[in-house]
Amino acid sequence: MLLRTNETIENKTLKNFLTSHQYLIHDLQIDPTGTILVSSSSDNCLKFYSNKDSTWKETFTLELEENTNIWKLAWSPSTFGSVIAGVTFQNEVVIISQTFENGKLQWKQQTTVCSLPDSIQKISFSPDELGLVLGVADSSGILHIYHAEDPSQPDTWQKHSEIIVANTCLRAFDWGLQPNYPVMIITAAINRSVKIWKFCEEGLKWESVFNLGIELEVYDIVWSNFVGRDFHLIAISTEEALEIWKIEKLKNNSYQNIEKERIAYFTQINDSIWKLGWNETGNVLASTSNKGIVKLWKSNLLGNWSCISTITGNDDDDDDELELEIEN
Partner 1 sequence: MISNSIPKQLRLSVTESINFNWEQSGGLLLFSTQRPILEKTKRLSIKNSSINQLKWNSLILSSTRKFYSQSHGIFLSLQKLSAKLKLEKKQKQSTILNLQLNLNLNERLNKFQSDLVLISRQYRAVLTEYLVSLSQKSKTDPNLVDEANLIGLAVMLWHLCEIIFIDQTVYVTAREPLSNWYLYHFSMNNNSLRQNIFQTNNSRNDKKNKKIQKQNKLMKKQNLNKIDLIQVLQSALVGDFEQVFFFIEQELSEIKKSPNMNKSLIRIIKFIRSELSSCPRDFEISNLSGSVDKLKKWQRECQQKIERLPEFNISYDNSISLLIKNWKELLLIFAGDFDVIRQYSQNWIEFLIANVLWVNPSLTIKELPLLVEQCRKEFINTEDTPTNEIIMMILKNSPIKVIRMIETLIASPWLSAHLIDLLYHSKIIDSQKITYNGLDLREHYLIEFCQRLINCNDMFITTSSYLKQCKTVGRSYIELFLKREKIDSDNYAKKLINICTKNDLYKSAARIKNTRAIQLLQTNNNVQALIWLISIDPIRRKNVLINRTVDKILKNANDLSDLEILVNSISSVINEKNSSYQSDLFNYLSKYSKITHLFEKGQLQKGAKIIVNLIETRTLPKQFWLTILNDIAKLISLQDEIIFDKHGTFVIMNFLEQITTFKHQSETLLSIHNSQIQKIRFLLVKNLGKSLIY
Our finding on whether 1 is near partner 1 (CB under 8 A) is: yes
Of 30-38, 109-117, 155-163, 235-243, which part binds partner 1 (CB under 8 A)?
30-38
What span, in angstroms and rounded, lies between the C-alpha atoms of 28 and 25? Answer: 8
Our finding on whether 92 is near partner 1 (CB under 8 A) is: no
Nearer to partner 1, 115 or 211 (CB): 115
Binding mask 230-269 for partner 1 (x = CB under 8 A): xx--------------------------------------
Residue 78 three-state SS? helix
Our finding on whether 78 is near partner 1 (CB under 8 A) is: yes
**Contact status, residue 156 vs residue 132, Cβ threshold 8 Å:** no
Binding mask 34-63 for partner 1 (x = CB under 8 A): xx-x-x-xx-----------xxx-------
Nearer to partner 1, 12 or 201 (CB): 12
Our finding on whether 270 is near partner 1 (CB under 8 A) is: no
What span, in angstroms and rounded, lies between the C-alpha atoms of 129 and 185? Answer: 13
Our finding on whether 13 is near partner 1 (CB under 8 A) is: yes
Cβ at position 50, least distance to partner 1 in Å: 11
Of 160-168, 193-201, 237-245, 282-290, which part binds partner 1 (CB under 8 A)?
282-290
Residue 159 three-state SS? strand
Task: Write 67-70 long-range contacts (CB < 8 A, 24+).
Answer: 68/44, 68/92, 68/94, 68/109, 69/26, 69/40, 69/41, 69/42, 69/43, 69/44, 70/26, 70/27, 70/40, 70/46, 70/94
Our finding on whether 181 is near partner 1 (CB under 8 A) is: no
Query: In Å, what is the CA distance from 239 to each residue of 16, 145, 206?
Result: 32, 27, 28
Out of 6, 23, 57, 63, the only residue in the binding site for partner 1 (CB under 8 A) is 23
**Residues 126-155, interacting with partner 1 (CB under 8 A):** 128, 150-153
Our finding on whether 288 is near partner 1 (CB under 8 A) is: yes
CA 141 to chain centre: 18
Out of 102, 253, 270, 324, the only residue in the binding site for partner 1 (CB under 8 A) is 324
Our finding on whether 106 is near partner 1 (CB under 8 A) is: no
Query: In Å, what is the CA distance from 145 to each residue of 125, 130, 220, 239, 268?
Result: 9, 11, 19, 27, 33
Nearer to partner 1, 70 or 197 (CB): 70
What span, in angstroms and rounded, lies between the C-alpha atoms of 62 and 64? Answer: 6
**Residues 194-233, interacting with partner 1 (CB under 8 A):** 225-231
What span, in angstroms and rounded, lies between the C-alpha atoms of 201 and 181? Answer: 12
Of 73-81, 110-118, 235-243, 253-261, which part binds partner 1 (CB under 8 A)?
73-81
Of 155-163, 186-194, 209-217, 309-317, which part binds partner 1 (CB under 8 A)?
309-317
Tell me which H or E stretch contains 264.
strand 260-267
Dihedral angle sign, alpha carbons of residues 79, 275, 47, 2? negative
